[in-house]
Structure formats: C-alpha cells, structure tokens
Amino acid sequence: MSGRVFVGFGFGPIQAGLFVSEAFAGGNFSRLVVAEIDPALVDAVRANDGCYCVNVAGPEGIHVQHISGLEIYNPNVEHDRTALLDALAQAAEISTSLPAVNFYDSGEHSVASLIAKAVRRDKARARIIYAAENNNHAAAILQDKVQKMLAAPLPPDVQFLNTVIGKMSQVVVGAEAVAAMDLTPITPGLDRAFLVEAFNRILISRVRIPNFTRGIEPFIEKDDLLPFEEAKLYGHNAIHALLAYMGAAKGCTSMTELRHDAAVMRIARDAFLSESGAALIKKYARLNDRLFTEAGYRAYAEDLLERMTNPWLADTVARAGRDPRRKLGYHDRIFGTMDLALSQGIRPKNMALGALAGIAALIRQETIPDIPKDRCPATLTDADIERILTWLWAHEVATQRTDILTCVREAQQVFRDLQ
C-alpha cells in the first residue's frame, strides 16, 4: 500500500489514540495527516517534528505509545489549507472525529466543503470516510452535506461509513493533573495528555467498494450497524451513566470506587444483563450474531464493567455523568433503555434506579420549575416526577411515559435504602 494517504479531521483522543494510532501501527500508509484548528496543538506537534504520545490504559497499567511522522494542518490558515487539500485529494481513508455532527458544515472552511473539494479534484480515487461522531446517522449526515457542497452525485467509489466506537478516552488538561496522574504529555512541555483504553474492537459499516482493501485493518465490518449501535447506547452508555449517577448519589468521585461497592455493582450488572441484555437479545436474536446471545452478551457486559471501573483509566464520576439533561432524554441511554425493555415485556427496575440517581444530578445542576435544588429524589411525589419528566421531555414523544413514571416511582424505596 505504498503511497496510501490517511487524513483525519480533529485531533482529540479518539483521532490520536485510535485512527492515527492504528494507521501508524499497521504500517500501511505513507502519510498520516490531521486537520486541527487549535493553533497551540498544531504548533506543539510541529515543534516536536510530527511526533506525539498517547497514554494507553490496560488492565495492568499504562503504557505510552509514541507516534511519529504526523503532518498536522490548520484549515483556517491558507497555506495549511492548501497542503491539507492536496493530502485529501490523495487520501484513500479519511476519518472525522469531531464534537458533534453539526461541526460538519461549521465555518467557512468546513469539513464537508474540504472533502467535497478533494472529491471534485480527484473523482476517480476510491476512498472511504469513517464518521466517528456519536450519532447513529453520522455517515448519512456527512454524506448529505458533502453532496450538497458538490452539487452533483457522489462518485460511485466514495463511501461514508458509520462506526460504533466503544473505546473510552479523555484529554487530561493542566500540567498539575498530568503530573499527578503520572502521564506523558502529548508533546514535551504541553499541558495536555491523551489517555485512552487499550480496547480497539471497533465496528464499522461494510465497505461496498469493489476490490477496496482497508489500510486500518483491525476494524470489524458489519452489514447492519444499527443493532450494535443500540447495544452501545442501551448497554455500554446506559450502564456507564447508571454507575456514574449512582456513584454521585453515594458521594463517590472516581469510577474505580464503584468496583468495591457490591450493591451498586449488583444493580449495574442486573440492569446490563436482565434488562438491557434481555431486551436486545429478544429483539435481535434473529441475526445469529454472538453478541445477541446470553453467553455473548454476558461476556460483553462483564468486560465492560471491568473496563468502566479500570483504575488506570482514571475516569471520574463527574466526567462520566456530565450533561444529565441530554443523557436523560427520552430516547437517550437511561430512559431509552427503559423504553426498549418495556417494549420487550421486561420491567426495568434497575435502570429506574439509575434514572432516579440521574434525576438527582439533574436537580443539582439545572433549574427545574417548582423543584428545589436540595430536593432528594427519594422524597419526590408522583406530581414532582411528572413535572420533571414533562420539563425534560418537552420536545420528545414519550410513548411509554406512564409505565416509565411508575417504574421510577417504584424504585424510590430501594433508592432511599441505598443512600
């Protein structure tokens, strides 16, 4: 694959510690290129001759991966943008790893416009674009925006791929925090460090371009990613949030503390296996995929419970539980899992405990009409819960609202006893 070029948009921990990392480790690319609009980060990597470090947390400790040969360009700088467009026109594989899908067409020199210009420059080149944003329809959204910029049909050998990325990661910011955690900074002297877990079992849409061979080899192709996206949202993400909110309710600060709390871990395991898992297996057993079997899902759950509380990953309850208003959306991880379970005839009593703990975080962080910030969820009346859910789901259709409210109300006594 000599002459093969990889280009990534955004230089966060997933881009640096997954896409570029795997592209570098595989040795199948002659050029590794990243677009990044943070001038300090661009300057730091350039000053270090295109080398940077990633701290990789495994079950036994942290090892540091040293990556070299990275070209990094700021698309807001004209001569950088020219070099970036040249690389994009030659790229066989491109990845976007941005905060959200609305960044695709943000700014004068947006991701979508740059990809469209590259495709227009070399329409004959076969290329795949991995969309790594946390959105089940990211690839379709990016494709639509690129196609509008092209104002013409996409060439047949250009394919946008969805991804299911179950790799936990963070940027540790501040020289003191980096030193306290004994991490290696991204580059010498920079007050930031990438910390990612060793996991790299990433699922992607099946590549349909004839005779196309991926340079990033470890990724696993699936014909239909939706069931696996649901397993990520209603399994991994749901239980991660449940643990964080239960931990916050019990005064924990680190996710690692929770592995020593038998009551909380039992709730998380039961929610994972008997509610999330049972519902997903019932829904997707027809696929004959090992994940959607009792043994397969149990292995998935036990592995994740270990990884979520890995002391070397140094995850905090505050980080894992941030943005409760979004995470408590009707179709998001907590209530979305409850909705899924109920639709499959399963009573989500453990997820309801996570919902109550999430409501506790919501009350502390948001101003909810007629709900005092010091109100304990265990003392909420039916009317209070109804008021909170009405405020929370103001723009969503809650098809099983009554049943969910009942489950949350029934969980209050158990929640009270846990505190």
4 three-class SS? coil
pTM assigned to the model = 0.93
Give the count of alpha carbons within 13 A of 28, CB side only.
17
Over the stretch 177-225, which tens digit does the pLDDT of each residue have?
A: 999 999 999 999 999 999 999 999 999 999 999 999 999 999 999 999 9
Looking at domain 5-222, its CATH architecture is: 3-Layer(aba) Sandwich (3.40)
**Tokens, residue 153:** 């049909």
Per DSSP bridges, beta strands 203-205 and 192-197 are unpaired
Quick one: how far is CA 178 from the chain centroid? 22
The two tokens of residue 382 are 């039916």
Alpha-carbon Rg for the chain in angstroms: 22
Per-residue pLDDT tens digits of the chain, which is 419 residues long: 458 999 999 999 999 999 999 999 999 999 999 999 999 999 999 999 999 999 999 999 999 999 999 999 999 999 999 999 999 999 999 999 999 999 999 988 999 999 999 999 998 899 999 999 988 899 999 999 999 999 889 999 999 999 999 999 999 999 999 999 999 999 999 999 999 999 999 999 999 999 999 999 999 999 999 999 999 999 999 999 999 999 999 999 999 999 999 999 999 999 999 999 999 999 999 999 999 999 999 999 999 999 999 999 999 999 999 999 999 999 999 999 999 999 999 999 999 999 999 999 999 999 999 999 988 888 899 999 999 999 999 999 999 999 999 999 999 988 888 76
- CB-hemisphere CA count at 13 Å for 353? 29
370's tokens = 């007629």
- Within 10 angstroms of residue 104's Cβ, the number of other Cβ atoms is 23
DSSP string covering 202-253: -EEEPP-STT---SS-S-EEES--HHHHHHIIIIIIHHHHHHHHHHHHTT--
| Domain segments of the chain as ranges | 5-222, 227-418
- CATH architecture for residues 227-418: Orthogonal Bundle (1.10)
* Dihedral, 339, 340, 346, 347 alpha carbons, nearest 10: -30
Quickly tell me which residue has 């013409």 as its tokens. 152
- Burial letters 267-306, b for 16+ CB under 10 A, else e: bbbbbbbbbbbbbbbebbeeeeeebbbeeebeebbeebbe
